[in-house]
Structure 1
Amino acid sequence: MIARARLIGVVGFLIAGATGLISSTQTWLLVSLSDGAAEPLAVAGASAVVLLAPLSLTALALGAALSIVGRILRPVFGVIGAVLGIALAILTAPIAIQAPVSAVSAEVAAVTGIRGESAIAELVAGITATTWPAITLVAAVLMAAAGIWVLATARLWPEGGRRYQSERAERRRSGGPLDAIDSWDDLSRGGDPTT
């Protein structure tokens, strides 16, 4: 399990980030207005939660960078990922649970020209949530869990570069044949690879 701990963290961030990014373009809420409009107003995830796309892109970047980052930055990335997931869950949960008028007020104001929370609340006859807020809430929980996982297991991950460095050092100590890369490195440092 520890051998795959890095992979679990990376995949967790990538899935959560991709889900959030896709969700930001989907319809989250359908708003029925009391002005007699035949079609309900569709509100996308990016309108309902303005920070959805930036937080999701940050999670994708964290996942990609986590695959190559060193030992010192791993816990930092874990903390950042956990904070991002918690923030996204806090922003998404009210919409997934009760679909408040505040989540649609910007979109309703843009369509109708009416401003003010109380005026918009009077204009809104009903709000129906799609499954996307719930999906995004699950992705936010996954993002926070991936951050906590990285924070808990990062010190146990194997170092990728040392495996190759120890093989070279062993060949040098044993006097064994060096490959072309080792010879070129010796030449670059001013040594004579022929001796």
Structure 2
Amino acid sequence: MTDHDATASETEADEPHADAALSAGRRIKVLTILVVLVASALGFLAWSQTWSTLQLSGSESVAATITVPGSVAAPALSALSLAGIALAGALAIAGPVVRLVLGVLELVLGASVLWSSIAAATDPVAAGASSVTTTTGVAGSSSVRSLITGHDATLWPAAAIVAGALMVIAGLLVLVTVRRWPASGRKYQAVVFEDASGARSTDPGDFFDDGSTAPEPKATRRERSDAAVDDWDDLTRGDDPTR
């Protein structure tokens, strides 16, 4: 067996491994982006639901119960979730360096969602204080707490916590597997045109004269212009006959 045959055999043996690595990287990329989308959508859904119900002390002038939506308990959750959805779209076309930045950003978004959700879940009275103030007109932390006799929490704060945890996991997954992702498609790159002489440009109009359909590089047009000036000088011996 010659060296060429040995090299060809090694190349053919490496092709299945390369294809398998490319396929695995593509699956990891799709899975990571899917986790980011699902976590962000879950966080936004939780933000739009009721998080708790507060029972007030008996009074004929105020309602007996007040419902606290996620938009009141964790108002930042909507912006954080929408940012996560936008980040998923950016991940689909980003290069390796930008993916690292996006991975760190996803970690920050997930940590922020966790912090906001846990704070509201552990203290529903404080999370719903603004709703109590709007309904009763009573302000101040101690005054509001004195009106609350009990509260019932829903599952949506826990769902928001899960969303934040998934966002953190997705950010870590991006940072760990960033080098295994396949490159972005060429449709996101600038198109470069090249003529027969080897001249390259992103504008196809650079290879055509105005009003003409025949291609001609700019360098050729400059050479013809210089030649015309030389011919004129030879004919007039450097004098302008129009003067």
TMscore range, shorter length? 0.7 to 0.9
Partner of 2:38: 15
Partner of 2:99: 74
Give runs of aligned pairs for residues 85-104 of structure 1, distance below 5 A: 85-96=110-121, 98-104=122-128
Higher Rg? 2
Deviations 1:116-167 (A, max 9, x none): 000000001111110000011001100111011111111221113369x9xx
User: 1:92·1:133 contact (CA, 8 Å) conserved in 2?
Assistant: yes
Gaps of at least 5 residues in structure 1 are 166-171, 173-184
- Paired-residue identity, %: 37
Instruction: Determine the C-alpha separation between the residues in 2 that align with 1:129 and 1:83.
Output: 27
Q: Which has the higher contact order (CA 8 A, sep 6+)?
A: 1
Residue 144, structure 1, aligned to residue 161, structure 2:
no
User: 2:120·2:126 contact (CA, 8 Å) conserved in 1?
Assistant: no
Partner of 1:4: 27
Instruction: Determine the C-alpha separation between the residues in 2 that align with 1:38 and 1:53.
Output: 28
Residue 40, structure 1, aligned to residue 40, structure 2:
no
Residue 190, structure 1, aligned to residue 207, structure 2:
yes
Report the AA paired with residue 5 of structure 1: I
User: 1:99·1:129 contact (CA, 8 Å) conserved in 2?
Assistant: no
Match of 2:50 among 2, 12, 27: 27
Change (3 A) 1:64 1:161: closer
Partner of 1:60: 85
Q: Secondary structure at the match of 1:160?
A: coil
Q: TM-score, normalised by structure 1?
A: 0.80
Change (3 A) 1:160 1:26: same
Q: CA RMSD in A?
A: 2.7
Instruction: Determine the C-alpha separation between the residues in 2 that align with 1:118 and 1:160.
Output: 56
Count of paired positions? 176
Report the AA paired with residue 153 of structure 2: A
